Amino acid sequence: MASFETGGNKEVIDTDVVVVGAGISGLCAAKLLHETGLDVQVLEAQDRVGGRTYTVSHPSSGYADLGGAYVGAGQDRILRVAKELDLKLYKVNAEGKTVSYMEGVHRSGSSDDPSLLTRNPLALLDMNNLLWKVGEFSKQVPPDTPWKAPRAKEWDSMTVKEFMDKECWTSVTKKLLGLLVATLACCEPEELSFLFSWLVWHLRVDLEMR
């Protein structure tokens, strides 16, 4: 039996399982538990479901994703959920030039060219060093069981921001890293464990898929 209190009102609900959070993981967990015959209650602090996925609509421009928007190779579970819900997927456009606007400077060019972000030789060296180091770290992480990595305890006790402050020399590289974390993980560097960040885990998965 569970007891909930919101807005000064106390409500007692008899249930088998309480799932905290109505994001994709919480809703999928609740669905699986419900299918086994258990009575499930889902609690969500916000006035909507979806967690870090958030889609809004506009009469003139259609739909826009303000949260998580991309799935790819290796994300079999979320792809299976999309198929079950009959959601239409489309490929992201990878053609044309990439546009960068950072610190008041506008540039366009290939996304593979680091000078798109800066022409500062120290910053370019910093980026190259970071990518090399992360690539080496990622080789130590099993893609399906990252917690079994030799340095899992150390990396899980460190946030991406702590890693960034320790390893990055220039503000440009730190800003780029922060932008990538926000884009790919829908959170800030100080909110994400280094072990489970895209820096180590997702890069390792990507390497396995190539």
- CATH number of the domain at 150, please: 1.10.405.10
Per-residue pLDDT of the chain (210 residues; tens, 9 = 90+): 555 555 666 777 788 999 999 999 999 999 999 999 999 999 999 999 999 889 898 888 788 888 887 787 778 888 999 999 998 888 877 777 877 776 777 777 776 666 667 778 888 899 889 888 888 888 888 877 888 989 999 999 999 999 999 999 998 889 888 887 887 777 889 998 988 876 555 655 554 544
pLDDT value at residue 197: 78
The pair of three-digit structure tokens given for residue 50, joined into one six-digit string: 């979806």
Residue 71 lies in a domain: no
Residue 178 lies in a domain: yes
Residue 64 lies in a domain: no
Enclosing domain of residue 43: 2-51
Class of residue 204 by CB neighbours under 10 A (exposed 0-12, middle 13-18, buried 19+): buried
Number of H helices and E strands in the chain, helices first, is 7, 8
Residue 72 lies in a domain: no
Instruction: Count structural domains, the chain.
Output: 2
Same domain, 118 and 40: no
Could you say which of 13, 31, 51 is where a domain stops? 51
How far apart are the C-alpha atoms of 201 and 183, rounded to whole Å? 16
pLDDT value at residue 157: 94
Residue 61 lies in a domain: no
Residue 75 lies in a domain: no
Q: What length does the chain have?
A: 210
Same domain, 44 and 118: no
Encode burial over 4-26: b for 16+ CB neighbours within 10 A, e otherwise: eeeeeeeeeeeeeeebebbbbeb
Same domain, 47 and 121: no
Residue 140 lies in a domain: yes
The DSSP bridge partners found for residue 43 are: 20
Residue 95 lies in a domain: no
Same domain, 120 and 193: yes
Q: Which of 116, 97, 133 is nearest to 172 (CA)?
A: 116
- Report the half-sphere exposure of 13 (CA within 13 A, side-chain side): 14
Question: Which residue intervals of 3-66 are DSSP H helices?
Answer: 24-35
